[in-house]
Structure 1
Amino acid sequence: MNRKILTILFSTLISTCFAQTYFGVKGGYTMSDISFNPVQNTRMLFADGFDYGLVFKYYNLKYFGFQAELYRVNRGYRQPIDIAELGDTLYKRVNSYIELPIFMQVCFQLKRTSILVNAGPYIAYMIKASEGNNSSGQYVMKNIDINILRDNRIDFGLIGGVGVSYDFNWGTLYADGRIGFGFGDMQNHTYGGMPKQSKARFQSINIGYLFRFGNSIQ
């Protein structure tokens, strides 16, 4: 038994010695909407702040690895207010989340340039919510209390996309585009007056800077 344990530990150590590990920071820009059922007339939420956070990436095979991130992101939607005298007045709801996606990543290397394909699940925790409208000519927003009977703090779903990275001597820069589909509802449908479905739909563009640790995969 001891010999088996030592063999496993030794194999893990050898694998790690040939692994490539990255750690760094990222920024991004997200556009989002909510898919309601029954269907509601909504508009995409954009120009509402930037995402920012940390990135960890690990490879122990030449073409396959995983990437995990932890960042703050704003998601939500806009919706016309059904009051004729207000014209094009829009209601806006913005939820701030701490989000954790974990991608399986396929990497096609062309010398120092890599083409990346990402896909995996994400989970997010709502830390803040605000709402308002632009009846005064610009959006006036106010924080709202999160009601745990009505508002689901947890969101989860799938996210994927493609990107490119370049290895410099002083680190790695990457950029990618993503599409996400939420499986959790923003609002609890069992609460009075809430829709049967309120799922997130979003797209984002991201850039990041990564430090490299370990040896290159051969």
Structure 2
Amino acid sequence: MKKISIIFILFLCISISFEAKSQSFVGLRGGINIPSVNYTNFVRGPIVTGFRNEFFIAPSFGVSYRNMQSEKIGVQIDLNYSTKGWGQLTLLETNTFITRINYLELPFYLHWQLIGKKKLKFFVDAGVYVAWALSAEQEIANDVDLVENQIIYSVEKDNRGDFGIYAGAGVSYDFSIFILQLDGNFKSGFANILPVNPFIKENPPISTNQVPSVQLSVLFPISKD
């Protein structure tokens, strides 16, 4: 998958350098994440620790730049403040831990306007993203002293960098002075957010971000070649 990402980045660079009639846009975007982390059962001390996800909603917002190389295809880069993390439900379903990790995130992707009329268009996006953890916090829903199977994340001790693939689809409408867009997207991470030590099996062997999101964007034209 990492090789696919590298090839995709090269393809994006070629697309940007391609000289054709183009139009550029800048905009604002905001929406919600429903984040989770891809954990598996793992050895924690003398026992095998199970994991149950508890989903929650988190914010994501930022700015966008899009360059359309033609009426159908272009490239886009976003700069987002995005909250990820996971919710963990104890095995007896008696307590919930919500871990929020706040990232500065940079998705970079191709934007295809597949079908539609002059104003209303349907599109798909595909690309990659990189992110850096800025801060983290944890919320315990019930008993603070009940720490069954709790996993702790710390920006000081754990992996702050994240990268992966980005895919999305949606609909947009051109109001001439701006474009209003609604899309759903999914980011699947490659990097473990918790360090893995084969000699000390306190952390799960896999801990990658998996984030579906719904976003609303407003894009304003700034240039046309």
- TM-score (norm. length: structure 1): 0.79
User: C-alpha deviations, 1:127-148, integer Å up to 9, x for none?
Assistant: 00111311169xxxxx975233
Mapped to 2, the partners of 1:57 and 1:112 lie a distance apart of 17
* Secondary structure at 2:34 match in 1: strand
Change (3 A) 1:102 1:37: same
Asked if structure 2 preserves the Cα contact closer than 8 Å seen for 1:45 and 1:76, the reply is no
Contact 2:52 2:90 in 1 (8 A): no
Q: Which of 203, 208, 212 is the equivalent residue of 2:217?
A: 208
**Equivalent residue number for residue 146 of structure 1:** 155
Closer, same or farther: CA 170–61 of 1 in aligned 2, 3 Å:
closer
1:9: which partner in 2?
none
- Tell me how far apart the structure 1 counterparts of residues 22 and 54 of structure 2 sit (CA, whole Å): 41
Instruction: Give the corresponding residue for 2:52.
Output: 42
Contact persistence 2:195–2:203 (CA under 8 A): yes
2:109 maps to 103
Residues 61-113 of structure 1 deviation map (CA, whole Å, 9 limit, x = unaligned): 2211111100111111111235x6xx521112111001111111111341111
1:42 to partner: Cα distance = 2.8
SS at 1:169 equivalent:
coil
Question: What secondary structure, in the 3-state scheme, does the structure 1 residue paired with 2:57 have?
Answer: coil
Gap runs ≥5 in structure 2 = 1-15, 43-49, 145-151
Tell me, what secondary structure is at the counterpart of 2:56? Answer: coil
Q: Which residue is equivalent to 1:27?
A: 30
Q: CA RMSD in A?
A: 2.6
Kept in 1, the 8 Å contact 2:153–2:194? The answer is: no
Q: How does 1:54-73 map to 2 (within 5 A)?
A: 54-73=63-82
1:121 to 123, 128, 131: 128
Task: Please tell me whether Structure 1 or Structure 2 has the larger radius of gyration of its CA atoms.
Answer: 1
| In 1: Cα distance, 2:36 partner to 2:153 partner | 19
Aligned partners of 1:103, 1:144: CA distance in 2, in Å? 29
How many angstroms does 1:44 deviate by?
A: 4.2
Q: Which residue identity lines up with residue 222 of structure 2 in the other structure?
A: F
Q: Distance in 1 between matches of 2:31 and 2:178?
A: 19
Does structure 2 retain, via aligned residues, the 8 Å contact 1:178–1:204? yes
- Pick from 91, 94, 97 the counterpart of residue 91 of structure 1: 97
- Contact 2:113 2:121 (C-alpha < 8 Å) held by counterparts: yes
Q: What TM-score does the superposition give when structure 2 sets the normalisation length?
A: 0.77
How many angstroms does 1:37 deviate by? 3.2
Letter in 1 for 2:118: K
Q: Identity across aligned pairs (percent)?
A: 24
How far the C-alpha of 1:215 sits from its partner, in A, is 3.2
